[in-house]
Structure 1
Amino acid sequence: MMITIKTLNLKLLTALTLMILGSWTATAQSNLKNINQNLRYSRYSRISPKIIPIKTGERSFKLQMPVEKIEENANFEDYAFSYVIVKDFNEEINEKNIVPLTTDKLKSDTDRHFYFEETVTIPERQEMAFAVIICKDTRQGDQYVYHADLISPFITDIPSFGGYYANGIPFDQNYINKGEALLFKSDKTLNLYSYYYPMEFEIPLPPMETRPAPTPKDIRVVDNGNFLINVPQPFDDNGYYFIQADTTEQSGFMVKTTSDAFPNVADYQEMVDMLVYISTRSEHEALREASDKKKALDKYWLNLTKDTEKAQNIIREYFRQIEFANILFTDFKEGWKTDRGMIYTVMGPPTGVFFDADKEIWIYDKLGSNSKISFTFARIKNIFTPNYYKLNRSRSYQPEWFQSITLWRSGKMAF
């Protein structure tokens, strides 16, 4: 009888495992290169998974996998979670290499996160490695995918420490509001060093502008000294901080600090700055020079729409786009000031998002046409962030860009 029970349990376990692995949407040669990751940038996502690796050995990594709960009362049973390690963006992802993240692997379940943690070691001869988390909403089939470099030409190294919220969940945002604190932890005994960059950045040029963007001539750096691991560290000034365990190395942990209102608009002056994408040069200069910014903005919106209700709708939609751009694309710049944030604000969430090791491609349906338009963002190695992308600009973008701006100005753009 005992043998029969064990056999039945084994069959049940196998069936459950296959069901979970089967939740991966199998296509011909599914790989990181051809998976559409558009839900990463959707305004209607229910969850937001991340992978935050910590280096634990020469080729060993702790994969911290927090999954933010965006929908209210998120239920673990409504999702199938798994992860995989691949050697490049072309390696097939299938039931042979996917590892299920079942309830017993759930390290923490808080009001805001499901949290998994796994340790992996990359074989000696493997030149590159990428970790991928896959979360499938079993109710409607939506598939959330997020990947992170472990070993690649686009990262210098991965820190052996990380930043955490007070409840021990890894810091999974792109920014922190000024005055808040993070707890830094490591399996090693470390002193950490803090450097502060009080930088303000220019707004990016339009996508059809091919001349080089202005670059800061001087970068001011303030040495904030060292602090102990496992002691809450406050971030008191606007700008960004770079935390290192070894100042002779290039690896570190960047924290972007923002106003209390961020990712929303802080004040009327900031609102004026953000209208640069849909305003003419003369309109924007007039807004910047106005002594009463609120009055000038009210007049601006009414002049565009000739209708109070339309004005209210366009204000709500436009600054909702700014909010999402800030949440999704902030690095050492505010998200709306990045190339991806600019395109996202004006064009809306892309219908297609595809990655390769060296680029990210967004695809949109052309307005009033069956054809499509794509934006390619080249990935650039940067010590502060592994996710720094610059738009490959082209004069061919001009018609679609102006068409989208015209829709905004007429109050017809909505997502």
Structure 2
Amino acid sequence: MMIKIKTGKILLAFALFILLVTPLTQAQTSLKNINQNLRYSRYSRIAPKIIPIQLENRKFKLQMPVEKIEDEANFEDYQFSYAIVKSFTDKIDQEDLIPLSKAKLKQETERHFYFEETVNVPKDQEEAYVVFWAKDKRQDDEYVYHEDLISPYVINHPNFGAYYNNSIPFDQTFIHKEEALIFKSEGPMDLFSFYYPREFAPPYPPMETRESPVPKEIQVQYAGQFLINTPKPFDENGYYFIQSDTTSQSGLLIKTVDEAFPGVSNYGEMIDMLVYISTRSEHEALREAADKKKALDKYWLELTHDADKAKEIIKEYFRQIEFANLLFTDFKEGWKTDRGMIYIIMGPPNDVFFEKGKEIWIYNRIGSNSKISFTFARVKNIFTPNYYKLNRSRSYQPEWFRNIKLWRSGKMAF
């Protein structure tokens, strides 16, 4: 009897040990080697984010909201943790991970779990990155999200934050026109708002090696000064840049969009978005059509020769547009970014890896055992620390046209 009890205790202790260390063992790697493909999956159950606020030169408040995508998400189904690393190649060991238990929840709402931690980066540390893990214990999926604290691509983080009216940090890439946010800081502060009304053209395809045209000047309008802790509405389509210090380059980008976004608001917009799968003559004819709905109906039917198939491809294509807008909007709509373009045509990448100056997407080639990768170079930008441009190559042409053909025949599915 004593032996059975002792064995049971040992087994129980071992089971608890396995439960506690399993996610840590899987995380014993470097940031460079972590596959972050679930951040772009169309079937994710949650979406973790990190929003740093710079309290002092090397002191940061880490806002870590987790959006609940699945209905009635249960905290007990997940294990959360985070770590601060010195580089993308820095090894992450079990002792580096800081668990985030339910007791550490700052707030839970119908749509979010929300953690908040304050960290200090040592003076002699040249770079710092925060990595946020969320493990789904039901099927061992690991959602990983990282953000720079100190790096060559970040000038400074804002010393204030933007929030919804329920005090959850603003974790989207856009806000609908005429909606409001509340800005907060650790102390009294005036904020300054600048409005940029510019619209952007879609990018060139991946095999087009010439540079996209860059505007010589960007129009900017001073949109006024306002106080923290009061709702701030955003009235115009475009993007706003909010600063506490106009002599600095740091600030917070707020992209404003129509009510239908991330979906499509009108037939003219639908036509613009077909640029990736239509020929130049088809696209010009659609844009010049007097009755755009009639022209679009004719376009889809001529592609598929089947009304039901046409409905399916329309639904699938604009679902991809919506995901691209949700995932990649910055000062441009997501579908107009390089990553958004690849995502729409190629679908969600099978593998996603980050390095200091680039993001790499890997796809399994259709009907082949080989793979194709797209590399996005990270570009320093005052509006966003996460601006990426595709490294274009003529070698992409065969695979690109193969996928375009699948779209046009109604055979693309993810």
TM-score (norm 1): 0.95
C-alpha offsets along residues 48-68 of structure 1, whole Å, 9 cap, x if unaligned?
Answer: 000001111121101000000
1:94: Cα distance to partner? 2.2
* 2:6 corresponding residue in structure 1: none
- Measured in 1, the distance between the counterparts of 2:65 and 2:94 equals 23
C-alpha offsets along residues 357-378 of structure 1, whole Å, 9 cap, x if unaligned?
Answer: 1000000011221110000000
Residue correspondence of structure 1 range 105-120 to structure 2 within 5 A: 105-120=104-119
- Measured in 2, the distance between the counterparts of 1:156 and 1:167 equals 29
3-state SS of the aligned residue for 1:189? coil
3-state SS of the aligned residue for 2:33? coil
Aligned residues of 1:380 and 1:390 also touching (Cα < 8 A):
yes
1:22: Cα distance to partner? 2.5
Q: Does 1:230 align with 2:229?
A: yes
Q: Does 1:356 align with 2:355?
A: yes
C-alpha offsets along residues 96-124 of structure 1, whole Å, 9 cap, x if unaligned?
Answer: 10000001101111000000000100011
* 1:265 corresponding residue in structure 2: 264
Aligned residues of 2:204 and 2:212 also touching (Cα < 8 A):
yes
Residue correspondence of structure 1 range 1-400 to structure 2 within 5 A: 19-24=19-24, 26=26, 30-400=29-399
- Measured in 2, the distance between the counterparts of 1:120 and 1:14 equals 33
C-alpha offsets along residues 367-394 of structure 1, whole Å, 9 cap, x if unaligned?
Answer: 2211100000000011100110000000
C-alpha offsets along residues 130-177 of structure 1, whole Å, 9 cap, x if unaligned?
Answer: 011000000001000000100000011011101000000000000001
Task: Identify unmatched segments of 5+ residues in structure 1.
Answer: 1-11
1:20: Cα distance to partner? 3.5
Are the structure 2 counterparts of residues 279 and 112 from structure 1 closer, same or farther at C-alpha, using a change threshold of 3 Å? same
3-state SS of the aligned residue for 2:191? strand
C-alpha offsets along residues 326-346 of structure 1, whole Å, 9 cap, x if unaligned?
Answer: 000000000000000000000
3-state SS of the aligned residue for 1:144? strand
Aligned residues of 2:377 and 2:390 also touching (Cα < 8 A):
yes
- Measured in 1, the distance between the counterparts of 2:383 and 2:18 equals 40
Are the structure 2 counterparts of residues 170 and 13 from structure 1 closer, same or farther at C-alpha, using a change threshold of 3 Å? farther
Aligned residues of 1:272 and 1:297 also touching (Cα < 8 A):
yes
- The alignment covers a number of residue pairs equal to 403
Aligned residues of 1:21 and 1:98 also touching (Cα < 8 A):
no
TM-score (norm 2): 0.95
Amino acid in structure 2 at the alignment position of 1:357 = K
1:15: Cα distance to partner? 8.2
* 1:6 corresponding residue in structure 2: none
Are the structure 2 counterparts of residues 248 and 313 from structure 1 closer, same or farther at C-alpha, using a change threshold of 3 Å? same
- Measured in 2, the distance between the counterparts of 1:106 and 1:226 equals 34
C-alpha offsets along residues 29-62 of structure 1, whole Å, 9 cap, x if unaligned?
Answer: 5111011100000000000000001111121101
- Measured in 1, the distance between the counterparts of 2:139 and 2:70 equals 14
Amino acid in structure 1 at the alignment position of 2:175 = I
3-state SS of the aligned residue for 2:19? helix
Identity %: 68
Over aligned residue pairs, what C-alpha RMSD do you find? 1.4
Aligned residues of 1:20 and 1:100 also touching (Cα < 8 A):
no
Are the structure 2 counterparts of residues 246 and 104 from structure 1 closer, same or farther at C-alpha, using a change threshold of 3 Å? same
C-alpha offsets along residues 64-102 of structure 1, whole Å, 9 cap, x if unaligned?
Answer: 000000000000000000000000011112211000000
3-state SS of the aligned residue for 1:405? helix
Are the structure 2 counterparts of residues 81 and 21 from structure 1 closer, same or farther at C-alpha, using a change threshold of 3 Å? farther
1:264: Cα distance to partner? 0.2
3-state SS of the aligned residue for 2:26? coil
Aligned residues of 1:38 and 1:351 also touching (Cα < 8 A):
yes
- Measured in 1, the distance between the counterparts of 2:313 and 2:247 equals 49
Aligned residues of 1:177 and 1:259 also touching (Cα < 8 A):
yes
- Measured in 1, the distance between the counterparts of 2:152 and 2:37 equals 25
- Measured in 2, the distance between the counterparts of 1:320 and 1:218 equals 34
1:188: Cα distance to partner? 1.8
- Measured in 1, the distance between the counterparts of 2:217 and 2:144 equals 38
* Stretches (4+) displaced over 6 A: 12-15
